[in-house]
Amino acid sequence: MSPKMVLLLVISLLHTYIALASDPDPVQDFCIPNTEFSSTTHQCKNSSFVTVEDFVFFGIKKPAKKIEKSRFLATAVTSSVFPGLNTLGMSFVRADFGPGGVNVPHFHPRATETAFVLEGKIYSGFIDSQNRVFAKVIEKGEVMVFPKGLVHFQMNVGDSQATILGSFNSQNPGLVRIPNTVFGSGIEEELLEKAFGLSSKEIGKLKKRFGPQDLS
């Protein structure tokens, strides 16, 4: 094994470390992951090499791609794409909706979200653990809060494109989409039939729609 290989191995091992960090108060001003040797290493860059560019993100000035009718597109900006967020306990997302576009019921296991409407009219809501829905149409400049870990959803009910800026109190809030998680992950069919009271045929249809093949 060559020293070079050792080095790469080491770096990849180091890479895994950051995964152990959580969202407590930082114990230093900041920690910009080092990407000198690999796009994946995450140790702190020597602060003398840190520049203002490390603290600015340019990637959500416009939608990631053209937003057609019924299209939904989200760009999540966590510490893995905006290293300046590392150890600082925050992240954000830009979500664009074509007319009728839907952000399916989902939740973030590790954060509360405040959603600010940049453009459009959006039917938006969440469900509490007493199974009550809190939903309404919100418009440009209005803000809705989704409590930590609760299922929420959005749909563009306007005639033009809609856009939301969501902010999170974790550098990696996580995302669990209900339809894909439940029907696309491979849970025993019998369990799903019993859980939802659906026939094997109905479950099969849902599994087909949300199964792995659909993720590619």
For position 102 contacting a second copy by CB under 8 A, the verdict is yes
42 is in an annotated binding site: no
Binding to a second copy (CB under 8 A) within 111-130 occurs at 112, 114, 116, 118, 123, 125-130
Q: Are 50 and 35 in contact (CB under 8 A)?
A: no
| 8 A C-beta contact, residue 70 and residue 39 | no
Count the residues of the shown chain that bind a second copy, applying the rule CB under 8 A: 129
Nearest to 77 by CA among 18, 88, 215, 48: 88
CB 58, min distance to a second copy, A: 6
Q: Which of residues 1-20 bind a second copy (CB under 8 A)?
A: 1-7, 9-11, 13-14, 16-20
CA angle 42, 44, 49 (to 5 degrees): 120
Interface pick for a second copy out of 74, 75, 174, 204 (rule CB under 8 A): 174
Which residues in the 29-48 window bind a second copy by CB under 8 A? 29-31, 34, 41, 43-47
Binders of a second copy in range 147-166 (CB under 8 A): 147-151, 153, 155, 165
Least Cα distance to 125 among 95, 93, 103 occurs for 103
> Does 15 appear as a known binding residue?
no
Q: What is the DSSP string of 93-151?
A: EEEEE-TT-EEEEEE-TT--EEEEEEESEEEEEEE-TTS-EEEEEEETT-EEEE-TT-E
99 binds a second copy (CB under 8 A): no
User: Would you say 68 is a known binding-site residue?
Assistant: no
